[in-house]
Amino acid sequence: MKKTKASTVLAIVTALAVLAGCGGGGGSASGTKQQGSGAQGESDQPVAITIMANLHTPEVPSDKIEKLIEEKTNTKLEIQWVPDGTYDEKVNASFATGTLPQVTLLKNAASLINMRDAIRNGQFWEIGPYLQDYPNLSKLKPEVLKNTAVDGKIYAIYREVPLSRQGIIYRKDWADKLGLGAPTTIDEFYEMLKQFKENDPDGNGQNDTIPLTDRNDLVYGAFKTVSSWFGTPNNWGEKDGQLLPEFMFPEYVETMKFFKKLHQEGLINQDFPVTSKTDQQNLLTTGKAGVYIGAMGDVSSLEPKVLEINPDAELDVQNKIDGGPNGFGVWSVPGYGSVTLFPKTAIKTEEELKQVLSFVDQLMSPELANLIYWGIEGEHHTLEDGQVITTEDTKLWDREVKPYQVLQVGGPLTVEGFLEAKHTRPVKAKAEALIVENNDFLIEDPAAALDSKTYNEKGVQLQELIKDATYRFMLGDIDEDGFQAAVDNWLNSGGQQIIDEFNASNEASK
Amino acid sequence: MSETAVSTGMNPDVDVKPPKQDSGRMKRIIKNRAIYMMILPGFLYFLIFKYIPMSGLVIAFQDYQAFLGVMNSPWVGFKHFERLFTEPMFFTILSNTLILFMMNLLFYFPVPIILALMLNEVRREVFKRFIQTMVYIPHFMSWVIIVSISFVMLSMDRGIINELLAMMGFEKINFLMSSDWFRPMYVLQVIWREAGWGTIIYLAAMAAIDPGLYEASRIDGASRFRQIWHITLPSIRSVIVVLLILKIGDVLELGFEHVYLLLNSMNREVAEIFDTYVYTAGLRQGQFSFSTAVGFFKSIIGLIMVMLANWLAKKAGEEGIY
Amino acid sequence: MVHDKTIPSRIFDIVNYTLLLIIGLVTILPFLHVIAGSFTTVAELAQKRFVLFPTEWSLDAYRYIFSTNTIFKSLGVSVGVTFFGTMFSMLLTCLMAYGLSRKDLDGRNFIMFMVVFTMLFSGGMIPTFLVVKELGMIDTYAALIVPTAINAFNLIIMRNFFQNLPEGLEESAKIDGAGDWGILFRIVIPLSMPAIATISLFYAVTYWNTYMQAILYLNDGAKWPVQVILRQIVILASGLTADTSSMEDFVRPPEQTVKMAVIVVATLPILCVYPFLQKHFAKGALLGSIKG
């Protein structure tokens, strides 16, 4: 058998050499199809641009809008659509094999954090110094760009999102029937839930309503929004001049206690830690539940469903809940949704980068920004008093317009002449107005632009400890001591390092 | 093992060297050259698509950064293995994984065999095919669907089973968020989805049994159970052994997607297994080296188990798989 | 065939049939729910949550998914990949399995061990991606077939079936002057139809379910097989991705009925394969007939 072992080793060594060849070369040897584009850029030849973007629709998108973009920017686009659920895997695999396209979208802040080391290593173009040269890109907000920066340098452009969409959606007809107004304090909110539970708001003679419907998400579900009412900081907060995670603040514990009470008294769906968003919304649309906390914009998809089952139902939205000493408050996101990076493996020269940036700049022009977001007038929307009414044909919209919305650069705050929607549903219009109003009392995340090595490595895993403890507290599985033990565990397993590193990063950025 | 060992990846039958002292073996190899030709394409397949990529395992000993590649990433020795073994949850995860595996082996593994034996006793072809088709359908439904249907059944709010329990005057049971119910729920779902599918191999093996054997035994007055015991089971024994060995090698592979969908904060202490742990601790944060190290550890355990099982099988007079 | 008509045997049959019927019903119920759900209205499905027989019939879900040709195209891709992939895999697998079933073969155990080893150790996604890329298979359907051409499990099972063929067959064929290739194609394969049917089915189902390879290796969405569309709809409709990205305004998940309908459409074709293969599983179908 000796010989066999030797030959196995030999085979593996050969294999290694082959792989190393590929892996080492991954950075340089694998520029893709667009190599020729740089040289012929100045002629009238369309410039080839490759893009990778996540797809949110069930279908393969139609290329109607793509063709129009190509025509208006004199480019030849090659868009790799990747299903949203597998997007990060595809980005990682493409990155490791040096096959990222010129314009690479990252889904969200978490994906950007995962790329930080690579960015530091110079795998992507630093675009900060170039932005001022472009009429539209120069309008991107510095304070948002700062949140995407790595070591203070700007590598990414962003797609704008509203700072905070959070609020309450509730059954106004139920509240009216019981003589309740929109809740303005936590006590009134609790009272509403209690009455919804006890006083048979749906009038079916049975005590079968679930007042609040929530889901398995501590952030975009109800928990974080309610924690804002109590005055909990957003992810990180300052105490005695030091940054500490939100769960080390008493307000966080207050919020947990509140939920524990709701759970014990049957004012929230008993299964909320395992309820999917679909099931959560289902409880509201089928008239089992009366209150929903989350993105207020969801009302536009919820209302028609509620009405289909019960034409007499009425939904309303509400945002300002006074939690006592701190006044109103609602947590906010750092101002960007997805971001776009420009890999050096695909963009070889500065000249090529300028071409790509010029293309991206054009996407931000009013004409193209509106085309990307609203589609073609007369086909996908109509204009009324300068406002957009989108088509009722959701299938057409999903196929031809919606996928391209991810390509949007900037947004209403940064694109002049970005068309506004005319909401045919009054409650949707109200929701949009409240989202704007939220801007008056935002609780921002002070650590959004900060960096911690330990957090990048272990943050997600450690956060699970806190998530578990939070749920178990709310369900009455552990008490305050138990929760404190979980926090201690978090501190000992690397949390203290995260605190130290964020504080150091905070000092450095001042 | 011959000198021309196929393992160098060379075409074994053109690589024949002048016979040495072992000329009997050489002759055999020359005689079997057509057989080596048959093996060659598959052999190359394994080399190119399995063994070459396998060199990627070295990143378990590195702090791999995609942009540096395998060649330039720093070597860190056993750092990632140390992180795994010093993880406070390590023994919980290990025992969770092993318990689920044992439950799978005890409660799932025999089910397809029994089901296949039952189907094999059916003489009405139409009925048999009808049932076969029914039981094999669940295999085609993804775990996402199966788990979401079970949630509809088992939920505390409006779940059908809990409504029934309540109607009959029992207390509702929190199946979805209970440490006690996680394991039975997992195994039942595995049985439900895979048992019918698992019968196919056994039925194929049973199709090769000579019907004459049954007739002879019937004439001897053997009961149906005796026939099953003395004819059917022995005929599929080697398939059972092979499947058992392979199953044992999968000791730490329990289906990531399935467990991940069932996992929540309330049952994590029994439901966290290696795959779900790696997903949160490694993959979601782009920790490829750590994920690979955990995979490596799982593979070593699997290898030991397979070798042990194969050795035992051979001891017991079976063929084994290699 | 003489039938056994004794009373214990009758009782055995009755118990056996009843049990099988119950098992069959229990396993099929959720699928019936999916079918029923695809033919009902959104409102009914939302209210009842578990539907076995719709009271309000509706074809809206099917109208929705068939209103464009995406599904047809992707079904076509899946059928093609499944058909050619299964052929290719069966060829390689049968050749290798037969070779390895020959007990007089030197190096057999070593190669078998090598095969088993690949079931346990795998280099992962990225090194395989590199190999596929270096071979120029990115954006070709070959990338969905060649990298998964042989499944070690299937190979081992196939070899086990070949090994269990009666010993004397090969010897007598050799005496009649047949070569190794002749023995394989004219004697061994025809005698192994149950095994061939089984392993073909396994391969066909694997190819039908190909998902990750399609995402990784096909950059062009027009080439996607049906599983990509199916998973995209199921994941969106189950609300599994929604909140990881702050895209709530974009994400308007497909209706539950559409999810059900697309499951039906993407599953039926592969379900139909099995009944065609079933005749090969009939008891004693083969060996009995050639023994004489």
Reported as a pLDDT band with limits 50, 70 and 90, residue C7 is confident
| Mutation target vs A (from B3, B157, B172, B176; most A CBs, 10 A cutoff) | B157
Residue A56 has a pLDDT of: 86
Taking a contact as any Cβ pair under 8 Å apart, which residues of chain A between 114 and 133 contact chain B?
114, 117-118, 121, 123
Residue A398 has a pLDDT of: 86
d(CA A139, CA A157): 11
Whether the predicted pLDDT of C287 surpasses 70: no
Q: Is residue A97 a part of any domain in this protein? A: yes
B71:A24 CB<8 A = yes
A68 and A145 together in one domain: yes
d(CA A273, CA B177): 8
Residue range(s) occupied by CATH 1.10.3720.10 in chain B = 68-315
Reported as a pLDDT band with limits 50, 70 and 90, residue B254 is confident
Q: How far is CA A168 from CA A47, A219, A307, B268, C92, in A?
A: 47, 14, 18, 31, 61
Percentage of chain C beyond pLDDT 90 is 54
Task: Tell me the shortest Cα–Cα distance from B23 to chain C, in angstroms.
Answer: 13
A205 and A260 together in one domain: yes
Q: What is the pLDDT of residues B150-191, one digit of tens each?
A: 988 898 888 889 989 989 989 889 999 999 999 999 999 999
According to CATH, the superfamily of the domain at B68-315 is MetI-like (1.10.3720.10)
Q: Is residue A491 a part of any domain in this protein? A: no
Residue B14 has a pLDDT of: 42
Task: Tell me the shortest Cα–Cα distance from C222 to chain B, in angstroms.
Answer: 24
Half-sphere exposure of B68 (CA within 13 A, CB side): 16
Q: Is residue A18 a part of any domain in this protein? A: no
Contacts of A282 in chain C (CB under 8 A): 46, 49
First CA to last CA distance, chain B: 13
First CA to last CA distance, chain C: 16
A108:C49 CB<8 A = no
Low-confidence ranges of chain A (pLDDT < 70): 1-43
Q: Is residue A503 a part of any domain in this protein? A: no
Residue B2 has a pLDDT of: 38
Contacts of A30 in chain B (CB under 8 A): none
User: Could you tell me if C76 and B9 are in contact, meaning their C-beta atoms sit under 8 angstroms apart?
Assistant: no
A66 and A134 together in one domain: yes
For the stretch A408-440, what's the b/e string if a residue is b when 16 or more beta carbons lie within 10 angstroms of its beta carbon? bbbbeebbeebbebbbeeebbebbbebbeebee
Q: What is the pLDDT of residues A333-354, one digit of tens each?
A: 888 888 999 999 999 999 999 9
Residue B218 has a pLDDT of: 86
Higher-confidence residue of C281 and A212: namely A212
Whether the predicted pLDDT of C67 surpasses 80: yes
Residue A26 has a pLDDT of: 36
Q: Is the pTM of this model over 0.90?
A: no
Reported as a pLDDT band with limits 50, 70 and 90, residue C277 is confident
Lowest mean pLDDT among C1-10, C40-49, C174-183, C249-258: C1-10
Q: Which of B296, B297, B255, B293 is nearest to B276 (CA)?
A: B255
Q: Give the domain range for residue A314.
A: 166-331+443-449
Lowest mean pLDDT among A37-51, A271-285, C177-191, C277-291: C277-291
The structure tokens listed for B147 are 């788990």
A208 and A242 together in one domain: yes
d(CA A264, CA A194): 12
Residue A153 has a pLDDT of: 93
Task: Tell me the shortest Cα–Cα distance from B128 to chain A, in angstroms.
Answer: 38
CATH classification (class only), C64-291? mainly alpha
Percentage of chain B beyond pLDDT 90 is 55
Where residue A198 sits, what CATH number does that domain have?
3.40.190.10
d(CA A400, CA A246): 42
CA dihedral C247, A402, A87, B255 (to 10 degrees): 90
Reported as a pLDDT band with limits 50, 70 and 90, residue C286 is low
Lookup result for tokens 């702090």: B63
A243 and A311 together in one domain: yes
Relative orientation angle of helices C256-271 and C226-237, to the nearest 10 degrees? 150
B311 touching C (Cβ < 8 Å): no
Q: Which of C110, C131, C96 is nearest to B49 (CA)?
A: C131
A30 and A144 together in one domain: yes
Residue A19 has a pLDDT of: 44
Q: What is the DSSP letter of A418?
A: P
Task: Tell me the shortest Cα–Cα distance from A125 to chain B, in angstroms.
Answer: 14
User: Could you tell me if C208 and C82 are in contact, meaning their C-beta atoms sit under 8 angstroms apart?
Assistant: yes
A274 and A345 together in one domain: no
d(CA B188, CA B175): 13
Total domains, chain A: 2
A323 touching B (Cβ < 8 Å): no
Taking a contact as any Cβ pair under 8 Å apart, which residues of chain B between 148 and 167 contact chain C?
148-149, 152-153, 158, 160
Q: What share of chain B is helix, strand, coil (3-state, %, to 5)?
A: 75, 0, 25
d(CA C35, CA C259): 10
Whether the predicted pLDDT of C243 surpasses 70: no
Higher-confidence residue of C282 and B159: namely B159
A123 and A202 together in one domain: no
Whether the predicted pLDDT of B15 surpasses 50: no
Pick the most confident of B16-20, B270-274, C272-276: B270-274
Higher-confidence residue of A469 and B70: namely A469
Contacts of C171 in chain B (CB under 8 A): none
Q: Is residue A485 a part of any domain in this protein? A: no
Residue C284 has a pLDDT of: 54
ipTM: 0.89
Give the domain ranges of chain C.
7-58, 64-291
